[in-house]
Amino acid sequence: MSVEHDVDDVTSDAGWDHQARSETETERLDRNWTDLLQELRVVQTGVQLLTGLLLTVPFQARFGDLTGFQRTIYLATVSVSVASTALLIAPVALHRLLFRQHARRALVALSQRFAVAGLALLGLAVVGVVVLIFDVVTGPRGAVSAAVASIVVFGTLWVGVPLHQRRRSPGGRNQRASSGSRP
């Protein structure tokens, strides 16, 4: 998929925005960028705190007591947390490097992808922390139960509910674009 296009059908979205909001393409891209920045502000602090706390774990007295499995889970969790941090902060670096290059479309499209990938990795990092904590405190069975529960919660709230809402939208994106209605 080219970065010249948003994740969704940009033509119908732009048509709806122009009809319903009287927005130009530039105004729509500016609004999309502002919306994305607000969302990233919410998540960046959390992912940075999680990563920072994970980086301190090896310096704790009980770290040497971890089993090989627990160390593997820890290292995998640190890795996805660091990758999530990088992806969720990447739009800022991208903006700085594209500043005054008239590349708002590419900036919004790439940043959207970075944000979605960063959120997916953040979810994995939180599940990894849950597995590690439950394995240390309750053992492998508790860790598996907690992992499954965490995956169900994140999957439901971050994927299931939004996709369900999207399907419930009257007629989907194309009808909204042509009729001017929006949920």
Residue 115 CA to residue 123 CA, distance in Å, equals 12
**Structure confidence at residue 3 (pLDDT):** 46
Report the helix count and the strand count for the chain, using DSSP H and E: 7, 0
Residue 3 placed within a domain:
no
As a whole number, mean pLDDT of residues 134-157 equals 97
**Structure confidence at residue 2 (pLDDT):** 46
Residue 68 placed within a domain:
yes
Tell me if residue 6 falls in helix, strand or coil: coil
Confidence of residue 134 (pLDDT cuts 50, 70, 90): very high
Residue 122 placed within a domain:
yes
On the question of pLDDT at 151 being above 90, the answer is yes
Locus of tokens 């490097």: 97
Cβ(136)–Cβ(71) below 8 Å: no
Residue 1 placed within a domain:
no
Query: Exposed, middle or buried, 117 (CB in 10 Å: 0-12/13-18/19+)?
Result: middle
Residue 88 placed within a domain:
yes
Confidence of residue 118 (pLDDT cuts 50, 70, 90): very high
**Structure confidence at residue 172 (pLDDT):** 55
Residue 137 placed within a domain:
yes
Locus of tokens 């939208």: 169
| Domain count across the chain | 1
As a whole number, mean pLDDT of residues 6-15 equals 58
**Number of CB atoms found within 10 A of residue 35's CB:** 11
| Average model confidence (pLDDT) across the chain | 85
On the question of pLDDT at 95 being above 60, the answer is yes
Q: Is 181 left (phi over 0), alpha (psi -120 to 50) or beta?
A: beta
Residue 5 placed within a domain:
no
**Structure confidence at residue 130 (pLDDT):** 97
As a whole number, mean pLDDT of residues 23-27 equals 82
**Structure confidence at residue 171 (pLDDT):** 52
* Cβ contacts of 22-26, under 8 Å, gap ≥ 24: 26/104
Q: Which domain covers residue 20, as residue numbers?
A: 10-179
Residue 145 placed within a domain:
yes
As a whole number, mean pLDDT of residues 63-81 equals 96
